[in-house]
Chain A
Amino acid sequence: MTPSCPPSTAEAGWLRRRGGEIALWLAVPLAVALFLPEYYLLATHVAALGLFALSLDLLVGYAGLLSLGHAMFFGIGAYTAGLLAVHGWGEPISGLLIAALVAGLVGFITSFAVVRVQHLAQLMVTLGFGLLVFEAANRARWLTGGDDGLQGMVVSPVLGLFEFDLFGQTAFFYTFVVLALCFIVATRVIDSPFGLTLEGLRENPKRMAAIGTPTAARLRQAYVFAAVFAGIAGALMAQTSQFVALETLSFGLSAEVLIMLLLGGAGHRYGGLVGAAVFVIARDLLSDLNPQYWQFGVGGVMVLVVLFAPGGVLGILRSLRQRLLPVARTSTAKAAPATPATKGGAA
């Protein structure tokens, strides 16, 4: 009875819409394996950091909750997987699950404090927790190796079959498959009533309370999801590089992942992946550059993107497509906002 409403049509065209996506997900690893095997390591980093950025997007882009301390969960996942592998628990998949569990648990505990406050205080509380965990790991040298990083990980073959090789082939495919599985789950989350609720919270928390949503509980749920995905991303990074650097917990990484999200486009399922690819590849290409030039360039790009392309790479692509294909009405209507702006509650 309502042919024009997107959620109804979404069902009918599912395979058509997802078909291209599935092809893309199969083509990318194949292309890396066939043409760019010397870039396995780089592609692994893109996949792990892309998952990390995706996890942050659930908070920042969808729920409108800005965190300055998200590296905390990445680092906790990395150290959990790392410590397990150092102390004889080398089986990677169970290591991954335990890391997800620990990150989720820490996320659950801290979520009460994070959603208790708003605005600047919320930024500061997320930042504060991140700094506290960083300091704790830095001081607990006996456990973490402090700023020398965690060494001596021994990771068993994946499924007992695929040994982590020197070329990084196993590492890449392992990371990519886990990323794909997490992406499927994240897509489910985003397309679900819960995902719609997060967008409602981003748009107007006051109205959400007025339709009966326990807003704090939903935000906490989103926070735990983000923590779990970030923990998995960190564990992947640790297992594939067999090393955990203290920087995985740092404010610098929390800022970098925000930059990736900005570059790709927040509030879009692929924003984090695209942003991570752009950032990691650019850093690799420009690694010979004087660090001052790199820092100045990153700063300059951030300023320019915020001013002129607030939707990031995907925002640019979207507006190009709209200009070239003027009648893309449904997708226009469903398009996520370029950037999540907090709407000031009207007094």
Chain B
Amino acid sequence: MLAILLTVLFDGLAYGMLLFLISIGLSVTMGMMGFVNLAHGAFAMFGGYVATTLMQRAGVPFLVTLPVAFALVALASIVVERLLYQRLYRRGPLDQVLFTVGLTFMSVAGITWFYGPSQQPVVLPAFLQGQVSLFGLEVGIFRLFLVAVGLLVAAAVVLGVERTRFGAKIRAAVDNPVMATGLGINVGGVFALTFAIGSGLAGLGGALGIQILGLTPAFPLKYLVLFLIVVSVGGLGSVGGALLAACVVGVIDMMTKYFLPEIGSFIIYAVMVALLMWRPHGLLGKKS
């Protein structure tokens, strides 16, 4: 029983890492520009389809598809941001919500058109398959890999934001865009690059998550709520908050699916509402 509990817990953590990878960009960019981007899941989906397409059509190895997914999605997102999103920063949340939901609908329909509605397969390399024994616990190697990648990315993002010049600019732009502009920071440029990195990470998460999250054209709508929960419960713009919230959401979701399938998603939504009542700006949100 304890072994099952620990296994589910670990699976939940791995799942949470995927949620973190996909949501972190949304959290930072939403915190920065206050732009409600409900199309974020579409970027993750594109990453997934880039990976499967490369694997199936060109025989590219799984691990190689990951950086490609990151880079292609990042590039595509810069175009979307400069061409479209940028025009809507001064609009109200209603326009932003409807615009990005519109984009999501278009991507869902477009992907269905090209790939059909069915689940995309993924073949993991042999060395990522199977189980290993970790402190007496049998865990999936791939899940272990996911946790490692998630923690690495979290560490890289934290170091990048806290220790680099670019990170300092991001922090300035998040804290006070007007003052940052006054200090000579090109807030628009900083934002475009941050947006690209965040979207790229979502693409990476989408590619890594094909096996666990599944990959169908409905992906952006199916997981949108979970990404938003991670962002809001973690606190806008907080890397640590997003990591914490993603783990909590991943573990709770996995636990309820395993032990209380009858109640379904009830618990996760109830927990979200309760947490937001308790801390309206999120667990580690800055403004209060």
Binding site for B on A (CB under 8 A): 60, 64, 66, 68, 113, 116-121, 123-125, 127-129, 131-132, 135-136, 138-139, 251, 255, 258-259, 262, 266, 292-293, 295-296, 298-303, 305-307, 310, 339-342, 344, 347
Q: Can you name 8 extra interface pairs (CB under 8 A) apart from A121-B282, A128-B276, A298-B105? A: A124-B232, A125-B277, A135-B265, A296-B110, A298-B102, A299-B105, A299-B107, A340-B92
Which single residue of chain B is at the shortest CB-CB distance from A130? B269
Task: For A299, give its contact among B84, B106, B269 (CB under 8 Å).
Answer: B106
Bound-state Cα–Cα, A273 to B94, Å: 18
- What are 10 sample pairs from A and B whose C-beta atoms fall under 8 A apart? A118-B280, A120-B232, A123-B97, A124-B229, A296-B105, A298-B105, A302-B105, A340-B92, A341-B91, A341-B95
| Chain A residue nearest in CB terms to B30 | A120
- Whether a CB of chain A sits under 8 angstroms from the CB of B113 is yes
Inter-chain contact B30/A292, CB cutoff 8 Å:
no
B78 interfacial by beta-carbon distance below 8 Å: no
Which chain A residue lies CB-closest to B88?
Answer: A306
B91–A310 CB distance below 8 A = yes
Contact digits for B90-112, partner A, Cβ 8 Å, 1 yes 0 no: 11111101110111111111101
> CA of A135 to CA of B261 in the docked complex: distance in angstroms?
12
Q: At the interface, yes or no: B130 with Cβ under 8 Å from chain A? A: no
- Contact for B264 among A119, A123, A139, A306, CB less than 8 A: A139
Task: List the B side residues contacting A342 at CB < 8 Å.
Answer: 92-93
A residues near B104, Cβ cutoff 8 Å = 299
Residues of A within 8 A of B105 (CB): 295-296, 298-299, 302
What residue in chain B is nearest A252 (Cβ atoms)?
A: B221
Query: A-facing mask of B229-250, CB < 8 A → 1, else 0?
Result: 1011000100000000000000
B87's closest neighbor in chain A, by CB? Answer: A307
Asked if A139 contacts B109 (CB within 8 A), the reply is no
Of residues 101 through 142 on chain B, the ones whose CB sits less than 8 Å from some CB of chain A are 101-110, 112-113
With contacts A299-B105, A303-B106 taken as known, whether A121 is within 8 angstroms of B266 at the C-beta atoms is no
Nearest A residue to B285 via CB reads A121
- Closest A residue to B266 by CB, please name it: A135
**Residues on B with beta carbons closer than 8 Å to the beta carbon of A119:** 34, 93
A306 to chain B, nearest CB (A): 4
Task: For B34, list chain A residues within 8 Å (CB).
Answer: 119, 344
- The answer, yes or no, to whether B185 is at the interface (CB within 8 Å) is no
Q: State how many angstroms separate the Cβ of B61 from the closest Cβ of chain A.
A: 32
Fill in one digit per residue for B252-288: 1 if any A CB lies within 8 Å of its CB, else 0: 0000000000111110011011001100111000000
Q: How many angstroms from the CA of A68 to the CA of B178 in the assembled complex? A: 30
**B residues less than 8 Å from A306 (CB atoms):** 88, 91, 95, 98-99, 102
Prevailing SS type, chain A contact patch? helix
Sort A-B residue pairs by CB-CB distance and give the 9 closest, nearest first.
A302-B102, A299-B105, A296-B109, A341-B92, A299-B106, A295-B109, A117-B280, A306-B99, A303-B102
| CA gap between A344 and B90 in the complex, in Å | 10
> Is there an interface contact between B109 and A299, defined as CB atoms closer than 8 Å?
yes
- A302–B105 CA distance with the chains assembled, in angstroms: 9
> Counting CB contacts under 8 A, is B18 at the interface?
no
How far is the CB of B271 from the nearest CB of chain A, in Å?
A: 9
- Number of chain B residues close to chain A: CB under 8 A: 49
Which of B's residues lie within 8 Å of A, judged by CB? 30, 34, 36, 84, 87-88, 90-95, 97-99, 101-110, 112-113, 176, 178, 225, 228-229, 231-232, 236, 262-266, 269-270, 272-273, 276-277, 280-282
Report the minimum CB–CB distance from B80 to chain A (whole Å). 11
On whether A258 and B97 interact (CB within 8 A), knowing A118-B280, A306-B88, the answer reads yes
| Contact flag A300-B106 (CB < 8 Å), given A117-B277, A139-B262 | yes
Given contacts A306-B95, A340-B92, A342-B92, whether A136 and B102 have CB atoms under 8 Å apart is: no
How far apart sit A251 and B224, CA to CA, in the bound complex (Å)? 11
- What distance in Å separates the Cβ of A138 from its nearest Cβ neighbour in chain B? 7
- Shortest CB-to-CB span from A118 to chain B, Å, is 7
On whether the beta carbons of A258 and B98 are closer than 8 Å, the reply is: yes
Closest to A64 in B: B92
Q: How far is the CA of A212 from the CA of B120 in the complex (A)?
A: 58
Known: A116-B277, A342-B93. A131 touches B265 (CB 8 A): yes
What residues of A have a CB within 8 angstroms of the CB of B176 in the complex? 347
For A300, the closest partner residue in chain B by CB is B106
Assuming the A-B contacts A125-B276, A128-B273, A135-B269, are A266 and B94 also in contact, with contact meaning beta carbons closer than 8 angstroms in the complex? yes
How far does the Cβ of B136 sit from chain A's closest Cβ, in whole Å?
A: 37
Contact A296 to B106, CB < 8 A, known contacts A116-B280, A124-B276: yes
CA distance A118 to B288 in the complex (A): 11
Measured between beta carbons, the chain B residues less than 8 angstroms from A344 are: 34
- Kindly list chain A residues whose C-beta atoms are within 8 Å of the C-beta of B93: 66, 119, 123, 342
How far apart are B191's CB and chain A's nearest CB, in angstroms? 16
B8 to chain A minimum Cβ distance, whole angstroms, is 21
What separation, in Å, do the CA atoms of A139 and B225 have in the docked complex? 19
Q: Which residue of A lies closest to B276 (CB)?
A: A121
Beta-carbon nearest neighbor of A298 in chain B? B105
Contact of A292 with B91 in the complex, beta carbons under 8 Å: no
Please determine whether A117 and B91 come into contact, CB atoms closer than 8 angstroms: no
Q: Once the chains bind, are B225 and A127 in contact (CB under 8 Å)?
A: yes
Q: A121 CA to B281 CA in the complex, in Å?
A: 7
Q: Is the CB of A340 within 8 A of B277?
A: no
Q: Contact check, B228 vs A127: say whether CB atoms are below 8 A apart.
A: yes
CA A172 to CA B38, docked complex, whole Å: 37
Kindly state the separation between the CA atoms of A259 and B231 in the bound complex, as whole angstroms. Answer: 24
